[in-house]
Structure formats: structure tokens, C-alpha cells
A and B are shown apart, each in its own frame.
Chain A
């Protein structure tokens, strides 16, 4: 297993366009998280899945954002009608709930979104 993979690494889009990002977690991990990180800030929680169920969404996740994890494996995060304020690094992480907290989350390298 090569860890958490995110695709693409970078995305430049025009304001108003839709974008979709993909995350492939560590295969045996049942939990998957999306975070957003803007310049000079720490990662902010967006949403998380346990298997295919989306269990929590942050108030940061506006109606333009939707996330799916259809088969409990990879996940997609879609942003509709992008705005300049959506420019950020989008980080995906995964964990195994049965491990408890001691292993933390394993993060991917992120997708850098720039909205022009």
C-alpha cells in the first residue's frame, strides 16, 4: 500500500466552473476525512465518512460542496460554481477506527486548487 493518494495534485479553474477531486485512502482504513487548508492556516475539517456513510459535515461545507464515498473505498469531493474563496489546499486523510487515536490520521499530499 502506497498511502493516501490524491488526484490531481494541482487544479487551476475559472470562477464558476465545477471541479472534482479524488482521494484513494489506505485500503484497510474505514474512515476517510476531507480537510481544507488556506495559506497560513491549519487544516480545517470539512467532512468524514465511515465506510460509505457520510457521518458529519462542517458548516464550512456549503451547498456548493458535495462529497461521496460510494463503495466505501475512494472518495470524491466536488465543488460547483467555484469562487475565488475556494482557492486552497484540499487534504484527504484516512484512519482505522479500531486502532483508536494512537495512530492519528494518514494524510495525502493534497490537491492545490486555484480559482482565477
Chain B
């Protein structure tokens, strides 16, 4: 559970969709999470998905889970400049294990 991997950077234009990808390590993780961190701030829970689900939609956010490949993605529709932040994927195995985070930059 200690090798959650994410790509480090993503740049998109305002109004486009953003897709942030993550691979996790342990198929026994019951929940998987996406957290957002703005500069100098703590982590804010964005959304989560239970491991028996394939997809979860929450307003502009769509989470896709492929358990076979241990792959998780977060899609942000109509990305805004306020979405610029670091996004962390996390799995829970007794406690939360985080990836290194993906820095999302949104250009106007």
C-alpha cells in the first residue's frame, strides 16, 4: 500500500476537461480517495469511491475505478483556474497512503 503512483504534472486550458490518473497497489483497499491541496494549505477531501463501484459522479467530478488494473482516475469537467492545485490519490489500508500528487495548472 505504499506505492501509489501518479503523474506529476498536468496543464489544461480553462474550459477543457482534466483527467488525472493514479495506480494503487493493493486490491484489498476498500475505499479510494481524491484529495486537493492548494498552496500552503492542508488537504481537502474531494471525493471517494467504494471499491465495488466502477464509477462515481459528483457535479463536475467523475471518478473511474478499474480494479483489475488497480487504476483510478479523476475527471474534472469544465476546468476552471480555481481548480489549479495539487491532487492526491489515496488508498486506505488501515490508514491512508498517498501518491506524490499531480500538479494541475489551468491556463486562462
Contacts and interface: CB of A to CB of B under 8 A. Distances in A.
A15 B4 CA distance: 33
Interface stretch (B38-46, B57-65, B73-81): B38-46
Contacts of A42: 4, 88, 90, 98-101
Main secondary structure of the interface of B (DSSP, over half): strand
A101 B31 contact: yes
Interface in A91-116: 91, 93, 100-110, 112
Given A42-B88, A42-B101, A91-B42, A105 B48 contact: no
B92 A101 contact: yes
A110 B95 contact: no
B50 interface: yes
B33 A56 contact: no
Nearest to A44: B98
A40 to B, nearest CB: 7
A6 B43 CA distance: 13
A71 B62 CA distance: 41
Interface of B: 4, 30-31, 33, 35, 40-45, 48, 50, 88, 90, 92, 94-101
